Chain A
């Protein structure tokens, strides 16, 4: 088993076997999470702080449950209401928290790279829960686990990622991960929502949904991130839905057993038809949420092991 990192800041620094290590361990936590008693002690005595500078319901809840099931002391900081609003810089907040000796810090921040900045300044292991338009590694890992369980493998699959690629950290982490695991990745969306030179990442780019979905094993829909747009990316939501919204007709171009994924929260009727989202034969959206808890438990477990190794065997008695 290999996983040699102090932090989980993105998929980019991970090697394929490290991704496999996380997913293998997460499988064990999927089993644990289905037991009536879901307690483990691997993070016992450790303190986990969740710092969310952007509103989040599912990711924050998922990290909180993951930490608690592993026995950590979990604290949620409501950063929108905190001293950042009073003018304190991210670094000062980080140093203040660091002085309280947390072991794991889970951070979401609206600026790309903010999590890297934090990781340089604290002793805790830092987990990126989404930074700007950069990465969202645990989302990509939970998507990978979902795909692996549904498709029986995580290589040589054709995976279409559709929608607002430009504003999506989920898309970046996913295309990096799926590329590392040797899948065929297609990106589908209007050219205004495609990042520059994205084809250089070894992906195929389509602006036609039907052509892009042709023969796909996995269809990954993204949320249209209206809050990150400063105007004029698409003419209207109805035209977007007409051209890029996933409905039964467009989905018929994918393989018959293709699965449909969405990181949530969904805009029904904008990027996905509600009927597809609720179709238990195609949609794995609920399973993604379940895998999220397991993957986060695995990631924190691995980081905590590395923390302990760094700290050495001595224990302080009080």
Chain B
């Protein structure tokens, strides 16, 4: 039984929204209290920040099917190095995680090799094809924490409404990436001056709002538990606001890239900046940051999407979408803190507390009795990111060569040190 006391820590508590200096004691994998007399091993935090570990929802791991892009081991190591103590993984693998058997496979692989906690999401429809719902009950029993077809929109409203009703009866959380799929088809960038200058196929951010409007109507109709993930457009926010005001069981998320980058970062067709949805205008980015600050948008995630060099070294239109971000999530998010847009406890509410609560997972808090999933970091230390130093198998980060601030000094999962 390990006992550890973290002394001289700047404790970031998203639950109370406070930053205080003090100590935290951990025993048998659980937080037992603050400012107790030090016992067990002592970790001197030297005034650096100690916060609940990040709960990152929507992590893509290449198992099964694309282990050359990312494995549970490499993703887990990247997560530990990035202060992520819980990964909630996506089902858009090959094959899709849409049966209890495939879910059992990833659960076993994760348990064997990942140094951080892993929970899996399952697809909402078989093969993410939008035709038939998966065995929601069996998958819940097998440990699925949410159901999502990821970036495939369930276009058939009848199929989607039935899946929502069925999921609601079992209390299951449904996650969607809202988009109007026909408008979005083939688009590589957001429509506007930049898209016109570069001559790339583009989509209006209104496509996202249209998708969200439809989903809100279906949620109102079915009463389902719904999380709109990967939102990126200012135009979506009033829709979200109305749904929340109407008392629908709705939460929303944004990925770190849409909070820290905009469409111009694509520059001369740099495919590491190709994301889905595409990077938006600066006004959208600012609106999304503001929505995180007010709590309208609940969750920030990495939307970690490993891609190998071959799938990115193509003309922009043909290149794959997505970026790795487990390790860059924290330093990229620090840009928002250093810019004065978000206070650390507010940031941690979105990175840790809210996702844990929404997925019904322990963690996200420094309260007594919570699991000792912790990250110790220095928010100020500057560095230049070298993508080849990342632990992920894939190195497709838009932050290559970027000047960042904030480094993880140590990560603990259940009181055991997994990094630093």
Contacts and interface: CB of A to CB of B under 8 A. Distances in A.
Contacts of B202: 196
A132 B313 contact: no
Given A89-B314, A109-B315, A117-B269, A133 B199 contact: yes
A116 B199 CA distance: 13
A90 B314 contact: yes
Given A116-B269, A196-B191, A196-B192, A90 B315 contact: yes
A275 interface: no
Contact of B198 (A113, A197, A200): A113
A134 B199 contact: yes
Interface in A88-116: 89-91, 109, 111-114, 116
A133 B198 CA distance: 8
Contacts of A230: 186
B193 A111 contact: no
A112 B316 contact: yes
Nearest to A135: B199
Contacts of A200: 193
B341 interface: no
B195 interface: yes
A112 B200 contact: yes
B132 interface: no
A197 B191 CA distance: 8
Interface string B296-336: 00000000000000100111111000000000000000000
Nearest to A167: B199
A134 B198 CA distance: 5
A128 to B, nearest CB: 12
Contacts of A91: 313-314
A197 B193 contact: yes
Contact of B197 (A111, A132, A172): A172
A94 B31 CA distance: 58
A69 interface: no
A28 to B, nearest CB: 32
A195 interface: yes
B94 interface: no
A111 B198 contact: no
Contact of B315 (A113, A172, A198): A113
Contact of A89 (B197, B268, B310): B310
Contacts of B294: none
Interface in A118-170: 131-135, 169
Contacts of B195: 195-196
A115 to B, nearest CB: 9
B196 A198 contact: yes
A133 B192 contact: no
A201 interface: yes
A230 B187 CA distance: 13
Interface string B177-199: 00000000010000111011111
B273 to A, nearest CB: 12
Contacts of A201: 193, 196-197
A116 B192 contact: no
B315 A112 contact: yes
Contacts of B310: 89
A197 to B, nearest CB: 4
A11 to B, nearest CB: 11
A197 B318 contact: no
A112 B200 CA distance: 6
Contacts of B316: 111-113
A114 B191 contact: no
B196 A111 contact: no
A131 B269 CA distance: 12
B269 A113 contact: yes
A215 B191 CA distance: 32
Contacts of A117: 269, 313-315
Contacts of B268: 113, 116
A90 B197 CA distance: 23
A12 B316 CA distance: 18
A12 B269 CA distance: 14
Given A91-B313, A109-B315, A113-B268, A172 B192 contact: no
Given A89-B313, A114-B315, A201-B197, 10 more contacts: A89-B314, A109-B315, A112-B315, A113-B316, A116-B269, A134-B198, A172-B196, A172-B197, A200-B193, A201-B196
14 contacts: A111-B316, A111-B318, A112-B198, A112-B269, A112-B317, A113-B199, A113-B317, A117-B313, A132-B199, A132-B200, A169-B199, A196-B195, A198-B196, A201-B197
Interface of B: 186, 191-193, 195-200, 202, 204, 268-269, 310, 313-318
Which 9 pairs of residues, A with B, have the shortest CB-CB distance?
Answer: A113-B269, A133-B199, A111-B315, A195-B196, A134-B199, A112-B199, A114-B315, A196-B191, A197-B193
